[in-house]
Structure 1
C-alpha cells in the first residue's frame, strides 16, 4: 500500500519510506491511500494483542520491504497485554495501557516504530530520531531506541512543564539518547521538530526522522489495542464498545477513529482534554483556533495546536461530516483533582491526571443519561505524578519496577533555546 501526504504535493511512498521520512517533503503528514475494511470475523481465533496487531497492520505493509519482518516486530512491540478491567459495578470498563517499560501508552507505538526502523537496511551514518514530548513520548522513544546500533535519539521537552519524574525519565538513559530542556512550551518543541525535519540542508548533514505521533509508524500500531479491546467486548456481549480517550496531540484518539473506520466493533469516540480547549470548541461548532498551550495538572496533554488535526481534516474534508464523527470535552484542574479523589474513595483505584480527564467525562455522560458500553482509556501510571496524585489519595503510590529502576539512575538534560538555529547546532554536534 502507498502512503500519501495530507497536503497532496509529495510523491506516494511505501510504509517503510514514510516511517523513515517522518514528515512528507511538502510538510504534510503521511496517511494510507485507503483504509482496508475488516470485520470481527476476520480476527477469528486471534486474541493476543500481537496476533490482532499483525492481522490489522498487514495490509499497510503489502509489497513493502518490511512485510516479512512484520510478525516479529509485532511480537516484540505488543508483548505486554493491556488489561481490560471493570471500572465500577455498572458495566463500565478501563483499558490500562501503562504496563510497558516507561509506564505510558506510548510504549506500544514507540516500540513498533523502533522495530520497523531497525529492520530496514543497515546504515553507515546514524539516523537521529528527533522527538518533541510533553511528558511521556520522549521516554517511550528513548526506551525503544536505547543502545540500538545505527540510531541516536534527541528529545526536546519544555523545561519545568513536565513532572519531575517524567523529566528524570527523559534524562536517565544516556549512551545514544540526548535530552534537551527547551525554554518554551510543548508547542515550541513541536515547532522546532517540524522545522528541523523540513530543513533539507540540515538533513543532508544529519539524517533525521521523527518519533512523534506525526510519524505514521507511531500512529498505525496504536489502532491495535483498540481493535483487541473492542473484539474482546464484542465476543463476550455482541455489542460494540465506546471509548473515552485522553487527548493532547490527538494521535491516540485518531488511532481509535481509524480502527472504527476499518470496521472494528467500536461505537462512539469521545476525546477528553484538559483546560486546553481547542478541540472541544471545534467539535462544539466553533472554529478550529490553535493557540498557545496553557499548563495543567494533565501536563502530557498541554497542547494548543494538535498536529494530528491535519490528518482529521484530510480524512473529513467537509466539517459537517467531521463533527458528528467524534466529540470532545474539556476538564479543568479542579475536576481532575475531584475525580482522582472520588474514584479512589469509591473504587480504591488510583488514576493519573490524564486518565482522570476521561473518567470525569464518563461521569458526565452517565449523568446526562447516556447509555451503551463505555471504556475509559488509562494512558499513564499514576506513580509518574506523585506531586499531584499522592496528596489527593492520602498515601504513596507504589512505583512499577521498571520506573523505579529508571529513577535510580542519574539523569541529565542540556538546556536549549526555543530557536531553530539552536536546535540545528545541537543536532550537528551530537
Structure 2
C-alpha cells in the first residue's frame, strides 16, 4: 500500500511507514494512492461473511502484502473482539451501536487495531512515543489498547474540565506507560500542540514520535470495517436506500464511511451531524472556511472547530469526482440535544448526546423513500448526569466505568505552551 502526503505529494510512504509516522511533513495527512473498488458480486460476498473474516479482506484490499495474512487476521481478531449490534428505533430508522468495546466508545476499533499493528511491526529494541489529543473518547481507547505494551510510551493531551468526569477516569487513572496531560484550554489547542510537536524534527527523532489520533491511517482502515458490518445486517432492498448519519467532530468517522462507500459499499448518502461547533456545515452552506472559537457543549467530543480529517474528505471527493454539495449536514444546539434525548427515550432508546445529535439531524433530513441509520458512538453511562437529567431515566454504570470511578486521577496539568509540552516529553523520556 502506497500513501502520499496530501500537503506534500512528493512524500510517499508504505502503510507500515505511515502507521509508524502518523503525520507527514508540513502536518500533512497520508492518503492512499490507490482507492480500490470492488464489484457488486464481491461486495455481496463480503456482506455474507462474518465480521472478522470480512474485516481482514477489507484491510488486505488496502494493505496488500505488507502484513502477512495470518498476522493481520490475529490483529483483527484481537482488536474486534466485541459485537456491533443494530437497534431498531422506528419504522424507518435504526442505529448501529459501536460502544461495546472495553472503553465503551467507537474509538476502540481504531485504537485496538492500531495497537495490534504496531506491536506486530516494531522491532524489539525500538521505542516509540505516541502523542495524541483527545476530546473525550480517543484517550480511553488508546490508553487501554496500548497499556502495558513494551517499548511504547503514550502521552495524551485533553482539555482540562471539558470532558466528562467518567471519560477522564477511564484513561487518567491507569498510569504505567500511559501519561495524561490536562491542558488549560480547548481541544483545538491540544490538537495544535500535537501538530507543533510533529513539526519539531529534532524532537520527533529524539523520542520516535507517533500519533494515535484519527490522523493515523491504521485507525481509519479499522473504522471502514464497522460500516460493512452495519450494512450486512440489512436486506438488499434496504441497503440501496440507506442514509447514514455520522456524529462528527474531527471527521475521522465520516472519512472512514466515505472510504467504505468508495470500496463499493451500498450507502445511498451520508449526513454530517455536528453540534454548534459547526465549521463544516457553515462551509458546505456558504463555501467560506471560517472556523470560530470552540464552544463547550454537552457533546464535548464534537467540540472541534478545526477538524483534522476534513482535508481527507475533500481529497476523496476530488479523487472520486463526487460533489461536496451532495453531502447533507446539520448542527444542533444543546437545548435541542437535551429534548431529543428525551424524545428518543420515549421511543424506548436511551442515547448519549453525540449519538442523539446524529439521530436528530437524520430524522430531519430523511426522505420518504429512504431508510436511516445513525451511529451510536458512546455508551450513555459515559454521560450519566447529562442523560439522566434529560431523560429522567436512571443509568447504571457498566463495570468498566464503576471500577475506575473512585480511582485517583494521575494527570499532569499544563498551560497551553509548546515549550512546556516539549520539556515534558524530553524530561519524562529520560
| 2:250 partner SS | coil
Deviation at 1:125, TM superposition (A): 4.5
In 1, Cα distance between the equivalents of 2:317 and 2:411?
Answer: 40
Please list every run of 5 or more consecutive structure 2 residues that lacks an aligned counterpart in the other structure: none
Query: Match for residue 162 of structure 2?
Result: 161
Alignment CA distance shift 1:65-1:49 (3 Å):
closer
CA contact (8 A) 1:161 1:295 kept: yes
Please say if 1:213 is aligned against 2:214: yes
Match of 1:176 in 2: 177
- After superposition, what is the alpha-carbon deviation per residue over 1:248-294, rounded to whole angstroms, capped at 9, x for unaligned? 00000111111111111111100110011111111223312223211
Once the two structures are TM-superposed, the CA of residue 236 in structure 1 deviates from its matched residue by 6.9
Does residue 424 (structure 1) correspond to residue 422 (structure 2)? The answer is yes
- Which deviations, in whole Å up to 9, do the C-alpha atoms of 1:206-251 show, x marking residues without a partner? 1110000111111111011111212332447463422000000000
The corresponding residue for 2:99 is 98
Which residue is 2:388 aligned to? Answer: 390
TM-superposition CA deviations, 1:161-185 (whole Å, max 9, x none): 1011111122111110001000110
Question: 1:291 touches 1:304 (CA, 8 Å); kept in 2?
Answer: yes
In structure 1, the residue matched to 2:398 is 400
Do the aligned partners of residues 414 and 19 (structure 1) sit closer, same or farther apart at CA in structure 2, a change above 3 Å counting?
same
Distance 1:71 1:30, change over 3 A: same
Query: In the TM superposition, what is the alpha-carbon distance from 1:67 to its structure 2 partner?
Result: 5.0
How many residue pairs match? The answer is 426
Of the candidates 75, 78, 81, which is equivalent to residue 80 of structure 2?
A: 78
Please name the residue that 2:152 is paired with: 151
**Structure 2 residue aligned with 1:56, among 55, 58, 63?**
58
How has the CA–CA distance of structure 1 residues 67 and 320 changed in structure 2, closer, same or farther, with 3 Å as cutoff? closer
The within-5 A match list for 1:12-411 is 12-43=12-43, 44=45, 46-65=48-67, 67-88=69-90, 90-235=91-236, 237=238, 239-317=240-318, 321-345=322-346, 347-366=347-366, 369-411=367-409
> Could you tell me whether the CA contact under 8 Å between 1:233 and 1:240 is conserved in 2?
no
Greater shift in the superposed pair: 279-288 or 27-36: 279-288
Structure 1: any 5+ residue segments left out of the alignment?
A: none
CA contact (8 A) 1:101 1:403 kept: no
Q: Rate the CA distance shift 1:240–1:57 in 2: closer, same or farther, 3 A.
A: farther
Render the CA deviation track for 1:41-67: whole Å, top value 9, x for unaligned. 325264322222111110221131465
Q: Are the counterparts in 1 of residues 173 and 409 from structure 2 also a CA contact under 8 Å?
A: yes
Change in CA separation of 1:396 and 1:320 when aligned onto 2, cut-off 3 Å: same
CA separation in 1, counterparts of 2:413 and 2:28? 29
Q: Secondary structure at the match of 1:269?
A: strand
Task: Tell me the SS of whatever aligns to 1:407.
Answer: coil
> What is the root-mean-square deviation in Å for CA atoms of aligned residues?
1.9
Deviations 1:71-97 (A, max 9, x none): 111111112121012112x13110000
**TM superposition score normalised by structure 1:** 0.94
CA distance in 2, matches of 1:84, 1:47: 17
Q: Provide the secondary structure at the position in 2 that maps to 1:259.
A: helix
| Aligned CA distance change for structure 1 residues 381 and 9 (closer, same or farther; 3 Å) | same
